[in-house]
Structure 1
């Protein structure tokens, strides 16, 4: 134990993967040799991954999930690290999203990714391809990653999901009349789930709006809270309570000012009729 290396998951996505692998192994009372026997990788290989000296692979992550009985948790984390089509900073957020017991979203202009229908998400990424912002391959990688994130909301104990959507999210016609009605139907279906609350912040809210840019707030199993926000080129995960706590307060204020879920669903249904 004297040579045990301290791991800081905030150092890098690779470090976060290694720290999680070590933590899961030790929770089961296994040493590296015991995990080696179950995975088919050498103990030194596992040690290298845990300390960040050696990168994991898709095969390694899948083998670790199987050995540890963690479903696809480590595979999803590896996908987030390896996926080159996503913003710097986003892999670190993906790790926290996968652990979340509560997720709070505020979005402007478009329906948030976790609430998007496949056709809607494809239209968003198709537009990015047309602008030359990403390649076709990167668009497919983004869609695959989004599908995995969405499936996590359907696990046996899904997180409680709160979403406040600016009215522009439901009125901006992404993909035209072939895509948008289905996207709104999908949004209404999600709103009917017992673990989901969707509200619309109407244009009339004006200066009472708490946020003027998208924000994501996550509560973890130990009740720790983190926030995530994006700029044009990077994403930032914030853990410092001094910065995160005021965001939660502002979010609760926004929920109080926004339409109730019943009135929000009525507005979404009305917009759905107008598009049809």
Structure 2
């Protein structure tokens, strides 16, 4: 079959769910449209589940078990997907991030994962565990994935990384003064790399700030682009350039409005000295 996407069940519980769905469908000789008709969904929906672009709902998993006669197999696999600490769409984003030639980031409130020290990242996940937002196991899952993502930045050739951070990222103390001091040093070191640009969007940017939610843009090796944005409960991958292009334009506008890298380093030095 042309353009058949290879699936990696080790990537995430969602990927494993999708791979199992495709395997059983192939065994029966059904097309995605055949399965869609049996389950009461569209072929596009089946494709999105198989490739991990969408997470299976309890209703979808129940319908899959009914269509295949698999008891509660898909319902159990679906619970594993929902219990992961990763938002819908994020595993697919990561699969693209580790091969992207250019990475553009905008973040609010916290330092982006790619730029976090292990201690800063641990403080974030520990806080989530204490609030009951995630389990200890989910925290470990997040930390393991983050380490893999950060290691991927050392590939050759290294990707170009552009990071625009809201001023709140550096003003908000996470993990205590010692952890924050080390994190600030990590940002300074990042800014000195030949393949990076670091800028801050100051508070007084006001309504000229382009985004109210974190945004990530990737340029892939074939020069195609994808965008990923998330709220507290949901992430979304966007591949259609009709929708990616306005996000890219807004990002460029934000870069123009944000502090230069030199001025951003001045802000870092102010934080180092404890001055406003």
Taking structure 2 as the reference length, the TM-score comes to 0.72
Give the secondary-structure state (helix, strand or coil) at the position aligned to 1:161: strand
- Write out the 4+ residue segments of structure 1 that deviate beyond 6 Å after TM superposition: none
Q: Does 1:53 align with 2:23?
A: yes
Shift of 1:16: 4.2
Q: Spell out, residue by residue over 1:29-54, the C-alpha distance to the aligned partner (whole angstroms, 9 max, x if none).
A: xxxxxxxxxxxxxxxxxxxx799418
CA distance in 2, matches of 1:259, 1:148: 30
CA distance in 2, matches of 1:155, 1:115: 16
What residue is the counterpart of 1:57 in the other structure? none
Counting only pairs closer than 5 Å after superposition, residues 227-266 of structure 1 correspond to structure 2 as 227-266=227-266
Shift of 1:158: 1.3
What residue is the counterpart of 1:270 in the other structure? 270
Give the secondary-structure state (helix, strand or coil) at the position aligned to 1:99: coil
CA distance in 2, matches of 1:270, 1:147: 29
Shift of 1:99: 1.7
What residue is the counterpart of 1:197 in the other structure? 197
Would the alpha carbon gap of residues 6 and 208 (structure 1) be closer, same or farther in structure 2, given more than 3 Å must change? closer
RMSD of aligned alpha carbons = 2.4
What residue is the counterpart of 2:129 in the other structure? 129
Verify the 8 A CA contact 1:188 1:265 in the aligned structure 2.
yes
Q: Does 1:115 align with 2:85?
A: no
Counting only pairs closer than 5 Å after superposition, residues 1-276 of structure 1 correspond to structure 2 as 4=1, 7=4, 9=5, 16-17=7-8, 52-53=22-23, 84-274=84-274
Q: Spell out, residue by residue over 1:144-201, the C-alpha distance to the aligned partner (whole angstroms, 9 max, x if none).
A: 1101100111112111000000000000000111210001101111111111100000
Give the secondary-structure state (helix, strand or coil) at the position aligned to 2:232: coil
Shift of 1:84: 2.5
Verify the 8 A CA contact 2:117 2:183 in the aligned structure 1.
yes
Would the alpha carbon gap of residues 258 and 50 (structure 1) be closer, same or farther in structure 2, given more than 3 Å must change? same
CA distance in 2, matches of 1:16, 1:234: 22
Taking structure 1 as the reference length, the TM-score comes to 0.72
CA distance in 2, matches of 1:167, 1:194: 23
Q: Mind listing any 5+ residue stretches in structure 2 that lack a counterpart?
A: 10-18, 25-51, 53-79
CA distance in 1, matches of 2:204, 2:3: 52
How many residues end up aligned between the 2 structures?
212
Q: Spell out, residue by residue over 1:11-34, the C-alpha distance to the aligned partner (whole angstroms, 9 max, x if none).
A: xxxx5438xxxxxxxxxxxxxxxx
Shift of 1:5: 7.0
CA distance in 1, matches of 2:157, 2:186: 21
CA distance in 1, matches of 2:95, 2:144: 16
Verify the 8 A CA contact 1:5 1:51 in the aligned structure 2.
no
CA distance in 2, matches of 1:96, 1:272: 35
Verify the 8 A CA contact 1:17 1:50 in the aligned structure 2.
no
CA distance in 2, matches of 1:207, 1:85: 32
CA distance in 1, matches of 2:188, 2:170: 11
Verify the 8 A CA contact 1:86 1:142 in the aligned structure 2.
yes
